[in-house]
Amino acid sequence: MDVCLASTSPARLMLMRQVGIEPRLASPGVDEEAAVEQREAELGRPLTPDEHVSFLAREKAKAVAVALADDFEGIVIGGDSMFELDGVVYGKPHTPENAIARWREMRGKTGTLHSGHCVIRVQDGSLTRAVHTASATVSFAADVTDDEIAAYVATGEPLNVAGAFTVDSLGAPFIERVEGDPSTVVGMSLSTIRRMVRELGVEWTSLWNRAS
């Protein structure tokens, strides 16, 4: 069965490839900030972290699934992540200054990575979906120095990832513990995606299409 990843994230693509899936790639083209603003206006309140990530995962997957529906049979996977520390929610830092400030705040602390997932099955032009969230806690080393933070941020790696860190690349040595599905922190919970795929009547192993 065909798989389309509604994401341009290299980390999510890497996860798919690691578990035997070579997906089609499609950029959702969703204005995330505007979409969240509109949803919060409709609700009359801010979205919780889990609501935020599940909403954006759904919007991304839906945008791609609708665009593909006429000539695609398979599943579309969308995801979104946010990092929560001391009750404050962080997305991507984008600038070195923001990333440095975040790391100085995070060292020695434990935060929660919230990950939203939406899987849509496209079959005979109709769409059925499953939406779930997953979370994992991340504990940062207390002895990370300012020089290490500056050097890490200078690589550019943390600028465009939720929370300004990775657990599968240069940021890994500064993280002491992860509790929960580790793939959640990389980009999406693979165990959660598997359960959702099965909810939609598809066997996970039928998605394997990548030569080992």
Distances 17 to 105, 178, 181, 197, 207 between C-alpha atoms, Å: 34, 22, 17, 17, 11
Which one of the listed residues 80, 146, 147, 168 is annotated catalytic?
Answer: 80
Distance between CA atoms of 177 and 137, rounded to whole angstroms? Answer: 8
Which tokens sit at 30?
């969703």
Q: Specify whether 80 is catalytic.
A: yes
Burial of residue 94, with CB atoms counted within 10 A of its CB: 0-12 exposed, 13-18 middle, 19 or more buried: exposed
Beta-bridge partner residues of 130: 119
Q: Exposure of 139 by Cβ count < 10 A (0-12 exposed, 13-18 middle, 19+ buried)?
A: middle
Q: Do 64 and 31 meet the contact criterion of CB atoms below 8 Å apart?
A: no
Catalytic residues: 80
